[in-house]
Amino acid sequence: MSVDEEMLRPPQNKINPENTPYPSKFINLADGTKMVVRQINRDEVKQVIPLFYDIVKLTDFQYYDIVGARILGELLAYINYRVHDEYVILGQDGNTGEVLGLVNSRLTVNPKVGISLHTMTFKRGLRVGAHLFVAKMENHFLLGNEEVYIVAESPIGFRRWMEELRLEPRPEVEHELGGVPSYCLTKENWEGYVVPERLFGERPVPEELLGNCNSNILLPEDVVFQITRKTKEEWFNA
């Protein structure tokens, strides 16, 4: 029996059937960079994927290997239509198009509950991850989720999300990332604390910045150096 590839694809997105993308915005970073935050499509995801071929090899460095490997898997699943209602948001330098960070999420465990997948920063020390994480949460709530399940794979992630965003523990929920006990961002916390205190960015993004980013997904020259402060050569020869 021949299997039609289409059969293997997930059903239509439940709460975003039109696949309306996250509304792009830009954020001022400490170094003056205007970071454009925008959702990227499958073709653009393909351009970002090679970044992770190096990152998955960063063993014993703040869990970059496991987080990198999982993101790589999720992005491959996304471009091959093997994951349900995933979205990928990129942070890019508005002047150069350089990729600064990436976040991804899934909209529906059920229509009311979203599930946060991963956050990774390629240029550190500028709070890129903090801004992008909140942007992906914004998309969940814009599209009608009432809460989002979140776990962390690194202690840095735990401090950033669980502590700084004051998430509620939901130990009875086994998160789909390995079944570990989940935390939850509720709509009440989102509206009462995160939106006024931690959600930033301006819309619309000036055409010029958006144009730079759309036309040029520039990967960091040496992402290993940006993450570890050792060049790719030094790191892999050590």
Partner 1 sequence: MRDVAIIGVGMGRRWGRYEGSLIEMMAEASLDAIEDADTDQIDALFVANMGAGRINNQTALGSALIDYLNLFPAVGASIENGPASGGTAARIGYMAIASGIHDCVMVTGGEKMRVAPGPVVTDFIATMSHPQAEYIYGITFPALGAMLARIYFNKYGVTSEDLARIAIKNHTNGLKNPHAHIQQKITMEGILTSREAKINNPIIADPLHLYDMCPVTDGAASIIMCSMEKAQEISEKPLIRLAGTGQGMDTMAVHEREDPTFLKAVTHASDQAFSMAELKRENIDFAEVHNAFEILELAELESAGFFERGKAHLAVRNGETEIFGRFPVNPSGGLKARGHPVGATGVAQLCELVWQLRGEAGERQIPNNPKHAYAVNFGGFGNNVVVTILSRV
- Looking at the Cβ atoms of 112 and 159, the one nearer to partner 1 is 159
Residue 148, φ and ψ in degrees, nearest 5: -130, 130
Binding site for partner 1 (CB under 8 A): 27-33, 125-127, 130-131, 197-198, 200-201, 229
- Looking at the Cβ atoms of 33 and 119, the one nearer to partner 1 is 33
- Looking at the Cβ atoms of 29 and 205, the one nearer to partner 1 is 29
Q: What angle do CA 131, 199, 158 make, to 5 degrees?
A: 55
Rounded least distance, CB 71 to partner 1, Å: 23
Specify whether the CB–CB gap between 78 and 86 falls below 8 A. Answer: yes
- Looking at the Cβ atoms of 20 and 96, the one nearer to partner 1 is 96
Rounded least distance, CB 125 to partner 1, Å: 6
3-state secondary structure of 148: strand
**How far is the C-alpha of 63 from the C-alpha of 56, rounded, in Å?**
9
**DSSP per position, 152-218:** -SSHHHIIIIIITTTPEEEEEEE-TTTTPEEEEEEHHHIIIIIHHHH---BSSPPHHHHHHHHH--B
Rounded least distance, CB 127 to partner 1, Å: 5
First to last CA, the chain: 51
Q: List, in sequence order, every residue forming a beta bridge with 162; answer none if it has no partner.
A: none
Q: What is the 3-state secondary structure (H, E, C) of 56-111?
A: CCCCCCCCHHHHHHHHHHHHHHHHCCCCCCEEEEEEEECCCCEEEEEEEEEEEEEC
Rounded least distance, CB 129 to partner 1, Å: 11
**How far is the C-alpha of 92 from the C-alpha of 40, rounded, in Å?**
11
Rounded least distance, CB 169 to partner 1, Å: 21
- Looking at the Cβ atoms of 18 and 31, the one nearer to partner 1 is 31
Specify whether the CB–CB gap between 139 and 105 falls below 8 A. Answer: yes
Rounded least distance, CB 102 to partner 1, Å: 18
- Looking at the Cβ atoms of 3 and 30, the one nearer to partner 1 is 30
Rounded least distance, CB 62 to partner 1, Å: 11
- Looking at the Cβ atoms of 79 and 199, the one nearer to partner 1 is 199
